[in-house]
Structures are given as C-alpha cells and as structure tokens.
Chains A and B, each alone.
Chain A
C-alpha cells in the first residue's frame, strides 16, 4: 500500500542526527496522573517519559480523552502530577512560569488590553519598563504581521489573528519551550492551514522549541520533527515516530509517499483495527423505490 514510515531519506536522517545531537531542553520522567473519582483512582497518564531537544518541533497526538491536555498542563505547571517529574534545562518544574509559554485553544487574550498591551503583558510582569516593553512588543507584533492592528482590541480580530497575537505574546517572554494546546482547533480549515504554514515560518526564524498538542493526523505529520502518540485508558506512550517528510514542508507533500506512510502508521495507532467484527447498524429503508441516491 504505502511505504514504511521508518525509511528516511539521507537528508532527513541527517536532520535527525543533528537534532539528537542538540542539548535536551525538557525531560519528562515517569509522569503519572491519577484522578480520584467516586473513591476510585482513575489514571489518565501512565508513566509518560520523553525528551525534547532544543529547537525541536514535537507533536503529541492522541485520541480525544487520552490526557493530552493534562500532560501539557502538567508541563506548564498549571496541574501537578501524581508522580514523576518534568525537568526544564535540568531543573524541576514547579508551578507555571514564563519559561514555558503557553498558547491555548481558546486564545485567552485579555479582552481589556489592546494587541500591543497584550503582547507587553509578560514583559511588564518580568519587570521591564513601559518603553522597553513597548518597543519589544512592537517587534513581535511585526513578526506575526499585525502591526496595523496593534491598537485594536481582541474582539475586533478574527480567530486566526487572535491566535497570532497569543503566539506573539507567548514568544515575547523568550520561553525555553512553547507549549501549544490544540491552538488551531477552533479555526476553520482554511485559516488552520494558513496558521500551520505560518507557525513553521515562525519556528524557523525564532529560536524556540515547540511542544504541540493535536488530534489532527495531517497537522501532526505536516508540522513535526517527531510525533509522540498516546494511547487511551490509561494513556501510555504508544510510539514515538520520527516524521519522515523532508523539510521545507508544503501542502504538495500531503500526497508524497513519506507523508502517507507516516499518516497510515498514525491512523493504525489512533484507530486500531478492532479484533471483533464491527457491529453493523441496520437502518430500515424508508424511501421510495426509484428514488435511490446511489
């Protein structure tokens, strides 16, 4: 059908060799999260361990309800693990901080601040003076192409623009790692495609490591260096896939053999063919003869 997703072209293999030679930014060790419900412990994350290299683009992919969001919230410090730890540059993470910028699906821009003030927020929190923060914020707004809107309020922007402001706001803090929790999930297909291309462009030009959560297989293959696939109940790491698609990436590659190979492998992992025969649904015929649609 399609080729083996593990076959890498020489340049892709060389890229992975370079990647793995870089220092480890984040080290997730044996992360377990158990929620107590009705006296029963319900494990959402089960001994998750992985590393993220500097300047890597790592996607975490999993079916809904697999605990992807819990994982990223623990890494961000918004949630605490039951056991295990997250090390950032060798230091244990405890509570949220500006070294792990986060972009949420729901934009979370401060509605009472203009675009510029939103981007300045983190800089001001870090104790920068108004003037310095402002000029720095301008640069970031310029980077995401929203200079014309720097004095607009968030409600005046479209979803894609809001998310670009959110990215600029997180990047302005110069985070060691940028955490993105299904950031394009609320956007329509066309805007999502634009934003994906856009994010790759930013990632190429800004010194940042990205941990990206998604449930969209295409998105994962298109963006990633490596893809961490989570299983459900409780979620363990199903596989860490090295994305065989060469960079730079483009929409045309969506039908290229390495893309399809990776896609099919992900599909197998996320939607495993069930052992039992699929239950057939019987729907009684309720239309007139001669009125068939097929």
Chain B
C-alpha cells in the first residue's frame, strides 16, 4: 500500500515519465548554471542516461567532469606558457643583451628580428663587434610568471603619483558601482518583470516600450547621465542600471511565463485569490530560475562596467588599467584583467552554493554541511 521513496539508484527506465522528468529538471534547473555547474549532480545520474562526453545530452562521469573543468583552465594556461617560454613558437623580436657596436641599440631594447640580423650583418662586414640578444615576445604579451609576479606586486606597490588609488581601492570602487547599479536595477526590474509575466495587461503595457529601450546601447546615455548626475559615481551607476534594467525586465517576465500554469490552477482550486497566487505561487515558483537569471544578469552588469567607468571622471579598475597601460606596465594590466575574471567567477560560484542553501527543494540540491555530516555518520551517501 505504502510506496517507497524513489531511490536515486533504483530501477530506471521504468517509463517515459521518469526520463521526461529528468529532462524537465535539467531544463528548468537553470541552463546557465548547468554550463559551469561542476559537482552538482555527482551522485544523481539516472541509470538510464547515457554516460559519455560526446553523447548528445549525455552525462559525464564525475571524474571526467572534474578533469575537464581543470583542463578548461589549464589548456589556455599551457598555451600561454608555450607562447611565452618556447622560443620558436612565436617570439618575433630580439631583446638586446649586449648592444655591441650598433649605435642606437641599448641593453633591453626590443628589436625586430630582421633589423637585428641586418644590423649585425653590416657590423660583421665592417669588422666591428656584433650585438647579442635573445628572442623575445612583444611587450604587450608578458609571460605567466611576470603576470603572476605583477598580481602580487600590483597590490603591494604604492601608486606612482600622489592621490592615485591603490589597486584594491580601484577594485573596491568598481565593485561598489556594480553593486549599486545592479541593486537599483533589481529593485525596479524584478517586480516589474514578475508583474509583466503574470498579468497579460501589464505585459502589453510594459514590455513593448522596454523592448524598444533595450536596443539603445547603455553608453549612449553617458553624456546625458553626466549632465544630470555630475561626473562622479552617479552616472556610472546609472549606466549599469540602464544596461541591466531593460534586459532584466524581459528576462524576468519570460521566466515568470515559464512557470507551470497548472500550479497556479491548483492554487486557485485551493482557494487562492489573485494576490495570493502572485505572492504564494508565482514568486516561490520562479524563485530558483529567477535566482539563476540574476546570476547571468550580474555578469551582464560587469560587461557594462568598463564603459561606465570611462564616463565622467574615469575611476575604478578601468582607471587603473588605463594608467598602467600608459606607463606600459602590461603585466599589471593583465593582472587587473585576471582579477576581474576571478572576482566575477568567484562571485558566481559563491552564489551557486548559496542557491542550494536558499532553495533546498531543488532536485539537484546538495545537502548543507551540517546535514552532510549527520548523514555521513548514519549511512554512506548513495553512489
């Protein structure tokens, strides 16, 4: 009489609805998070699913998954190392170690290989002392170890001029701009999107205009924003806001429309009124997808950061990068770009983890730390 809860490793392929449910779960479980979701479904591969990285919509073994994730970071790094450290891969220039008798060569000058050979040829013919040098890459491609050193150095060296911010100050400034731009965008965009997605009247009233504005690139509002809000943080936050808001309304409205309407109908037959449906069914019903949308939109906000920071008085990480480029310290430029990547990726990973805490009902959710500890004492986790 009493059924048993479905075991993750139980008999699979029993019927189509099981497979359909799995597919639905994948689709609904936030496509974007799936792209980078690493260890999420380690133990939850349904047995009827094909295992293999090149099987369409197949599943990877956990080991292979981890390996590929490492590869995805290591492969570009290896390529970068190859270009930087193996002389015959690229190295179009020569770094002069001994200028010899070439009048305009100095130590550490970078010279094109052709020029270097020609000059040395002339010197040999004239019986003078030839210059010596080693193959080198252009100044705009520093080697990994140089960038690594710069990563450390850029945080520890004081700014060149008085009043210039340290790197961490620049970064913090940028993060504040992003935060406030995204915050204000969400304060208005999310409720508007949910209302548009829920009620067709609001959809028709709001979305066409929003869709129209979406095509205007945010930076075109730069001059206007400066005129209205001055040259400091105001217009920058405004650009992030404009860049995020219109997309946000449409994305949230679409996510809302994807809610399973039978849940709304069920709520209605249980006596829920219009507002109760909105707050007790629509909002919790889309919460997981909404959260994942927000993660993607936050990434979007970052892409507007650089243009935003050019507006008015240049500031934040953009100002830092520009200054370093002016001084031709490209290791610091790379270091700063890498840091942006690390911050963006790190934030997203943290938000992904937090998502499992916020939404324990997710199918793929991993149990929290305390839960895991308790379970591990009782029984081994299913393989």
B248-292: CB near A (< 8 Å → 1, else 0) gives: 000000000000101101111111110010001100110100000
Contacts of B280 in A (CB 8 A): 121, 125
A173 CA to B268 CA, complexed, in Å? 12
Interface readout for A184-206 with B: 1 if CB under 8 Å, 0 if not? 00101001001001100000000
Q: Which of A98, A154, A157 contacts B269 (CB 8 A)?
A: A98
Q: How large is the interface on A (under 10, 10 to 19, 20 to 34, 35 or more residues)?
A: 35 or more
Contact status A96-B269, CB under 8 Å: yes
Complex-state Cα separation, A155 to B25, whole angstroms: 10
- Shortest Cβ gap from A196 to chain B (Å): 12
**Whose C-beta in chain B lies nearest to the C-beta of A144?**
B2
Is B269 within 8 A of A101, CB to CB? yes
- B265 touching A155, Cβ below 8 Å: no
B204 within 8 A of A: no
- Whether A155 pairs with B268 at a CB distance below 8 angstroms is no
Q: Are A101 and B270 in contact (CB under 8 A)?
A: yes
Max chain B C-beta neighbours (<10 A), residue from A108, A161, A169? A108
Report whether B268 and A108 are in contact in the complex, using a CB–CB cutoff of 8 Å.
Answer: no
A287 to B271 CA separation, bound complex (whole angstroms): 62
Is the pair A188, B5 in contact by a Cβ cutoff of 8 Å?
A: no
* Stretch in B112-120, B163-171, B345-353, B359-367 with 4+ CB within 8 Å of A: B359-367
Q: How many Å lie between the Cα of A95 and that of B267 in the bound state?
A: 12
Q: How far is the CB of B139 from chain A (nearest CB, A)?
A: 55
Asked if A126 is an interface residue, CB under 8 A from chain B, the answer is yes
**Chain B residues in 8 Å Cβ range of A197:** 1
Least Cβ distance of B305 to chain A in Å?
A: 34
Structural contact, B3 and A110, CB atoms closer than 8 A: no
B273 to chain A, nearest CB (A): 8
Interface flags, B1-27, vs A, CB<8A=1, else 0:
111111000000011010000000000
Given contacts A96-B265, A102-B266, A113-B284, 12 further A-B pairs with CB under 8 A are: A77-B268, A98-B271, A108-B260, A110-B281, A110-B285, A122-B270, A125-B276, A125-B280, A145-B1, A159-B17, A169-B270, A179-B269
25 contacting pairs across A/B (C-beta < 8 A): A77-B268, A96-B265, A96-B268, A97-B271, A98-B269, A102-B265, A106-B262, A108-B263, A110-B263, A110-B266, A110-B281, A111-B285, A111-B361, A112-B361, A113-B284, A113-B361, A121-B280, A122-B270, A125-B270, A126-B271, A156-B5, A158-B4, A179-B269, A188-B15, A194-B3
